[in-house]
Amino acid sequence: MPSQTELANAIRALAMDAVQAANSGHPGAPMGMADIAEVLWNGLMRHNPANPDWPNRDRFVLSNGHGSMLIYALLHLTGYDLSIHDLKQFRQLHSKTPGHPEYGYAPGVETTTGPLGQGIANAVGMALSEKTLAAQFNRDGHTIVDHHTWVFLGDGCLMEGISHEACSLAGTLGLGKLIAIYDDNGISIDGEVEGWFTDDTPKRFESYGWHVIPAVDGHDPAAVKAALMAAKAETSKPTLVCCKTVIGKGSPNKQGTESCHGAALGEGEIALTRETLGWSHAPFDIPDDIRARWDQRVSGAEQEASWQAGFDAYREALPDLADEFLRRLRGELPANFDEQVDAYIAECVSAGADVASRKASQQALNALGPVLPELLGGSADLAGSNLTLWSGARGVSAEDASGNYVYYGVREFAMAAIMNGVALHGGFIPYGATFLIFMEYARNAVRMSALMGQRVLYVFTHDSIGLGEDGPTHQPVEQLTALRATPNLHTWRPCDGVESAIAWKHAVKREGGPTAMIFSRQTLPAQISDAEQVDRVHRGGYVLVKEQGDLDAIVISTGSEVTLAVEAAERLSAAGRGVRVVSMPCAELFDAQEAGYKETVLPSEVLARVAVEAGHTDFWYKYVGLDGRVVGMTSFGESAPAAALFQHFGLTTDNVVAAIEDVILD
C-alpha cells in the first residue's frame, strides 16, 4: 500500500511535469505543500468529486493561487472531472487549467485566486456565509448547514494589507469554521523573505482573536493531521495552522530557494527530482494503486447521501423553510419580486419627490428588503452616510449570526473581497457601501467580481465635487470612468428617486455580474413623471426631454447634472432651439440595446452633442464625438460648499447652454 509520502509525491510529480510541459508556472508551492494537501484532501475535507456543487461541502481556497497545479493535481487525483489531458494543457488557451485558478473553468475551483491576499478574504466571506446561513436555517434536531472553509496561503498573502483587514474581522465575528494553513517556507519571488517580512505571524493572528497552532512540520503527515484535527475542534474562533515547509520539496538543487518559485525546474532537475523522490514513473503517469488511494468518489457520495437523508428529514418537518433554502442556493429571486419592485417604482413616480439619491437608495432598500431575505448588506464604517441600513437590518455578530447586515469597519478592500466570497458560497446577495472615492481601495476586488461574474452589489455614495467641504481627497473625479471601463460591470448613476429604484431592481436581477450604483449626497429634483419614461429607463439611456420642433442638439447627462441639462434645454427651447435631453444612468445597458433603439435616442445624423457630468470628461467622447463638448471635470476638486464648487468648476446651466450653442454653431 502506498505511503502518505508516496501519495504526496504524486502531486509533486504532476506539478513539476505540468509546469515543465507549459514551460511556465510555479512548481515550488505545490511541491512544498503536497504533504499538507494530502492529509486534508485524503480524508479530512468533506467533498464529493461527483457533485462539486453539493451545498454542504467544505470549501477550499488556494489563496496563493500561483501554485495552481496543487489544486489541479488534487482535483484530478480525487476524482473530479479534470483529466490528465487537462493537466497536460496547463496554461494553454481555453484549457480547464489556466495559470491561476479561475472560477468556472475546472470543477471544484471555488474562486479565482491570483491577486495575493484576496483568496483568504474570499474564504472569510465563505465562512461568514456558512455561519449566517446556519443561524438562519438550522433548527433543533435539523442541522443542514455545517461545513468548514479551508484556505492555503503563503507569505505573499500575509504581506498584503487585505489579509489584515479580512482576518481581523474574521476574528471579531468568531468564524470558527474557517481554517487557514500558512505555508511558512520563507521564500518569495525575490528570495528569502527575512529581508522584508519579519512579522511574528502567530502573535499577529492571536491578537485578531484567532486560534493559532504554531510550528507544525508541514512534511510530517501525523503532525499535520493532529494540527488540522485540533483546528476542527475549535469552533468559536478561526484557526491559523502555521506549517514550516520547504519550497520545491524534492528538487535536490532548487528546493528551499526562489529558483523553483516561478519557473519550470528543467528536464535535468526533474530527472534528479524523480530519483530523489523515488518516483520512477513517466511524466503524467500515476500508478493504479496510488490512484485508488486518492479516489474520493465513493466516500464523497456517502457523505453527500448522509447529508441528503438529513435534509429530507428537514424538508418533511419544515417544508417551507427547506424550499426557501433551496431557492436561495439556486440564486432564484422570490416569485413576487418583480411585482413588488414594480409597484414600488410606480409609487416613486406618483410621489414625484425631490430626494438625494443616497436617500432614495435607502428607501428602495426599505421596500425591497422585506421581499429579499437573501440580502446581506454592509458598509465600510459609513452606514450613516451611505444610508445602507434599512428598517429590517440586523447586525451579524459572533454571538448571533442570524442577521443580515455586516459592520465591515474601515475595510473597503476586504469588504469587497469578502462579498465575493459570500456570493460564491451561495444563499445570499451581498451589497456593501462606501464613498465613491474609496472605491479605489476596493478596486481590485470589484474587478474580481466582474471577472468571476458574481452578483455583488456596490453602493457608492458622495459621488462628485457635490461632496463639498471634505475637499479633493474625498471628491471623486476619475472613478466613474474607471468603473465604466471595467468589463462585465454595470455602473448606474441615477438622476432621481425613480432611476435609483430601477437601478436597485436591475442590480438584484442581474445574475451574471456585479453592479455599481452611484448615489449623490445632495438632493435631486424628480425628473420621471410617467410609466412610459419608466419603461425607457430600463434600457440604460433614453430621451428624458424631447426637443420642440426640429432636433438641433442633444445633451447627455447622468445623476445630479441631469438637472443642469434639463434647465439648459428649457432655456434654449424658449429661444427656439430644438434640444433633446438624454438621461444615461447605465451606459453599459444602453450599449447593449439594439441598434435601432440607440438610433432613436442618439440619431447618427445629429452631430451637435454635449455631455454633462461632474466626473472626468474623457469617457463621454464615445457619445459626443471629437467635435462634441463635455462639461465636466479635468482636475481634482477643492474644499468648499457644493454650490460654490459647481460654480467654480463650471458645472452650471450657463456653461451647458454655452456648450450647446457652440456645437450648434459648429
Q: Which amino acid is at 381?
A: D
- How many residues are given for the chain? 666
Cell of 620: 463621454
Given pLDDT bands bounded at 50, 70 and 90, which one contains residue 503? very high
- The per-residue pLDDT for range 59-110, each reduced to its tens digit, is 999 999 999 999 999 999 999 999 999 999 999 999 999 999 999 999 999 9
pLDDT for position 15: 98
The beta-strand segments (E) located in 493-647 are 515-518, 523-524, 542-545, 553-557, 579-583, 609-616, 629-633
Cβ neighbour number for residue 197 with a 10 Å cutoff: 14
What pLDDT score does 593 carry? 98
399 pLDDT above the threshold of 80:
yes
**b/e 602-613 (16+ beta carbons within 10 angstroms → b):** beeebebbbbbb
Q: What is the mean pLDDT of residues 168-172?
A: 98
Separation between Cα atoms, residue 86 and residue 155, nearest integer Å: 29
Find out whether 590 and 540 touch, Cβ atoms under 8 Å: yes
Could you please report the per-residue DSSP string of 68-96?
HHHHHHHHHHHT-S--HHHHHTTT-TT-S
Task: Determine the Cα–Cα distance for residues 45 and 465; give it in Å rounded to an integer.
Answer: 51
What's the confidence (pLDDT) of residue 2?
96
Residue 262, C-beta contacts closer than 8 angstroms, at least 6 positions apart: 25, 26, 28, 66, 189
Indicate the pLDDT class of residue 321, thresholds 50, 70 and 90.
very high
The yes-or-no verdict on residue 498 having pLDDT over 80 is yes
pLDDT in tens, 173-212: 999 999 999 999 999 999 999 999 999 999 999 999 999 9
pLDDT in tens, 322-357: 999 999 999 999 999 999 999 999 999 999 999 999
Q: Are the C-beta atoms of residues 17 and 36 closer than 8 Å to each other?
A: no
DSSP code for 235? -
- Output the pLDDT for position 437: 98
Cα–Cα distance, 21 to 24 (Å, whole number): 8
Q: Is 248 left (phi over 0), alpha (psi -120 to 50) or beta?
A: left
Number of neighbouring beta carbons within 10 Å of residue 634? 11
Residue 277, SS3?
A: helix
The DSSP output letter for 486 is: S
Under DSSP, is residue 262 helix (H, G, I), strand (E, B) or coil? coil
Q: Is the pLDDT of residue 417 over 80?
A: yes
| pLDDT score of 665 more than 90 | no
pLDDT for 585-629, tens place per residue? 999 999 999 999 999 999 999 999 999 999 999 999 999 999 999
Are 437 and 474 in contact by the 8 Å Cβ rule? The answer is yes
CA distances to 181, 429, 435, 521, 638 from 642, rounded to whole Å, are 50, 34, 16, 10, 10
Q: Would you say residue 496 has pLDDT above 90? A: yes
Q: Which residues are catalytic?
A: 412
Q: What does the mean pLDDT of the chain come to? A: 98
Stretch 212-235: mean pLDDT, rounded?
98
Residues 95, 86 contacting (CB under 8 angstroms): yes
Instruction: Please give the DSSP secondary-structure letter assigned to residue 64.
Output: S
* Torsion 287-289-290-294 (CA) sign: positive
